[in-house]
Amino acid sequence: MKYCSCLIVGMLTFSSWAISPEEIRIDPPHWWAGLHVESLELLVEMNLGLNEEFKITDVKGDKITLLSDVEAQNRDYHYVTISIDSTAAAQNIYIKGWLYKGGQKFPISKLYKFKERESESHNYMGLNERDLIYLVTPDRFANGDSKNDVINDLREHHVNSSEGFSRHGGDIQGLTSQLDYIKTLGVTAVWTMPLLINDMPEYSYHGYAITDHYQVDPRFGGIKAYKEYSRQLHERDMKLVMDIIPNHMGTFNRLFQNPPDSNWINAWPLEGKIDEKGQVAGATITNHRYATLYDPYAAPSDKKQFSDGWFVPSMVDLNQKNPECAKYLTQNSIWWIEELGVDAFRVDTWVYPDQDFLDHWSKEIHMVFPDFFIFSESWVHNEHSQAYFSNRHSSLDGVADFNMYEAWKDALENPTSWNSGLNSLYMNIASDYQYSSPYKFITFLDNHDAGRFFAKINQDFDLFKMGIVMLYSTRGIPCLYYGTEILLSGLDDHGEIREDMPGGWSDRRDKRNVFKETALSELEKKALFFVRKMAQIRSSYKVIGTGLFRHWAPDDDIYSYCWYNENDILFVLANRSKKTQSFDLKRLTELTFKEGRVVLDSKDVNNESEEWDIISNTEEISMPPNGVKILYLKR
């Protein structure tokens, strides 16, 4: 299937074999003046017949000229590079050439737009240590337009809310309609799983098998809905985090079905047939051994299989070593930032693509958008691996901190011993010396690939509060997974982990609407109140993320840490014991203070007292079983 754009052919009539406008495509579909990109490589595609060819010979525009026209290995494609003067204004240009067959030639003239930039869309660009991210699975959050649930022209054209791996019907309009609710959680940025089209026979809901890099999935509402969502986010002073995937694409992407060059694809399968599930037999699957990239003794075959193998049989591994493929992916990323006003990228499967490409890709993005924020999904299982993948790239702003996630799991799910529980958390944070910017790591208690936090702690509400306090007050940029605030409890299976948000489906099935507090159980109300209270504390005490961080080794099952500057100390204590314990404030040593008060006591959350009730550096703080306290100390 060919995706095409309008072609103006310099003839009033076409011969019976001439290419029609619907058989022409140019990627990127348009560009912008003043984007500080000196040259642009257009991928021009025509569906040629036997003995047909085309050439691009000229670009008609003001201060925009043709540099080169190179036919790809697949003659349906040309790499057309144009030069853009820094002073070139917004305009319509014409890309001209000739279509040849049988000794005849026919002129073609393609309209291509250079648009004005919308500068205000970048006012919120970037993330920092004061942000709070909310992660959403769009298909499972809310349905704002039931008319786009089924698109009959696409391969998966049904919804089935009882099946975890089918589409449920959530869309961008539904997400946009609940931005006020999300705002009440103290959220400053929203990250969604991918929204580009996944025209795959199954599992298309998750978005990670893109079949067109320049099209928003119509079942999510299309580009118009995405732009309105961006506008509404920014109107509420929230940021747009886009999930981007340079490692792979879906098997029904035309760039696999009819690639410009076979070298665009890694481990080209011996059997190219795609089955009814969209899987390709014979494709080499990655061994997932990320250590081969830094292991001095790694076998070359292991290293190659890791980097060049497919993630799964339905996701084609892209070869970023190919310069044209690399250019295509880089320009596509820049295009979406400008088109939507994206403020940050979360990069899927960061460790799998060519690492030199990722370094160049992120630097190119930062050259155009210096304030942009890029964080990686580097799902590794120890600190030295995380250090390798974070420090290797000077232009990588942050990483999703899976090691902190594992440390929190140990601390909150297991009793404390010399090497486990709270000591795992302490040792993980002590390993920050290996990283260049750990304050910009993205921290989380659960996400779209891991079991729900409340389920993991066996629905212990005291431990829930302890986890939320740690998430919102430890170093890094916290990320809350949708529904954690109301104790959603799906465990292990992806379909359950990415469960529906009750209330987003008024068109068909919900018995209650959790976006309205009256529909919540008493425990859910307490959880939502606590999440909002911690967001308020994080917002009110600016020392979090901006001051210096210090922590104390666990003692008697109490772990403590603080943020401090010359005026303020915000001190957090967590007792991971089933008995009452105490912490001696003399351990603060040179962090002296004049007076203080309890900001939060997890056993008495409703206490709003402003009384200054801590008066001595020698006082011992009593900690209830599995309790958390936050103290504000004035210096």
DSSP-derived 3-state class of residue 436:
coil
The answer to whether the Cα torsion of 424, 429, 430, 433 is positive or negative is positive
Judged against a pLDDT cut of 80, whether residue 353 lies above it is answered with yes
CB 445 within 8 A of CB 457: no
Other C-beta atoms lying within 10 Å of the C-beta of residue 180: 11
Beta strands across the sheet bearing 595-601: 548-555, 558-564, 568-575, 628-634, 595-601
368 pLDDT band (50/70/90 cuts)? very high
Mean per-residue pLDDT, 395-424: 95
Cα separation, 256 vs 314, in Å, equals 11
Each residue's pLDDT tens digit, 100-123: 988 899 888 899 999 999 878 899
308 pLDDT band (50/70/90 cuts)? very high
Dig out the tokens for 372 from the structure: 């942009």
Each residue's pLDDT tens digit, 76-88: 999 999 999 999 9
Mean per-residue pLDDT, 564-591: 95
**If you search the block for the tokens 């698109």, which residue do you land on?**
151
Judged against a pLDDT cut of 70, whether residue 231 lies above it is answered with yes
pLDDT value for 606: 75
- Of 174-178, 301-305, 348-352, 414-418, minimum mean pLDDT range: 414-418
pLDDT value for 509: 63
pLDDT value for 400: 98
Look over the chain and give the mean of its residue pLDDT values, rounded to a whole number.
92
**If you search the block for the tokens 């109300």, which residue do you land on?**
525
**If you search the block for the tokens 């569906």, which residue do you land on?**
47
Each residue's pLDDT tens digit, 547-570: 999 999 999 899 999 999 999 999
| Catalytic residue chosen out of the listed positions 131, 324, 348, 462 | 348
pTM of this structure: 0.94
292 pLDDT band (50/70/90 cuts)? very high
- Strand segments, DSSP code E, in 537-584 are 548-555, 558-564, 568-575, 581-584
**If you search the block for the tokens 């694409």, which residue do you land on?**
249
Cα separation, 71 vs 503, in Å, equals 53
Crossing angle for the helix pair 222-235 and 323-340, nearest 10 degrees? Answer: 60
595 pLDDT band (50/70/90 cuts)? confident
Query: Could you give all domains of the chain from N- to C-terminal order, each with its CATH number?
Result: 8-117 (2.60.40.10), 130-250+321-540 (3.20.20.80), 548-634 (2.60.40.1180)
Cα separation, 214 vs 29, in Å, equals 8
Mean per-residue pLDDT, 452-458: 96
Mean per-residue pLDDT, 232-242: 98
pLDDT value for 23: 74
Residue 348 annotated as catalytic: yes
Other C-beta atoms lying within 10 Å of the C-beta of residue 39: 11
Highest mean pLDDT among 481-485, 493-497, 578-582: 481-485
Cα separation, 502 vs 525, in Å, equals 14
Each residue's pLDDT tens digit, 2-14: 333 333 333 333 3
| Catalytic residue chosen out of the listed positions 324, 338, 354, 377 | 377
Residue 377 annotated as catalytic: yes
CA angle 22, 24, 30 (to 5 degrees): 110
What burial class does residue 548 get, using C-beta atoms within 10 Å of its C-beta: 0-12 exposed, 13-18 middle, 19+ buried?
A: exposed
| Distances 123 to 70, 176, 426 between C-alpha atoms, Å | 38, 20, 37
Strand pairing category for 31-32 and 104-115: parallel
Cα separation, 624 vs 578, in Å, equals 8
Residue 104's identity, in one-letter code, is Q
CB 375 within 8 A of CB 398: yes
Each residue's pLDDT tens digit, 238-278: 999 999 999 999 999 999 999 999 999 998 776 668 899 99
Mean per-residue pLDDT, 14-35: 76
Closest Cα partner for 146 from 221, 248, 209?
Answer: 221
Judged against a pLDDT cut of 80, whether residue 335 lies above it is answered with yes
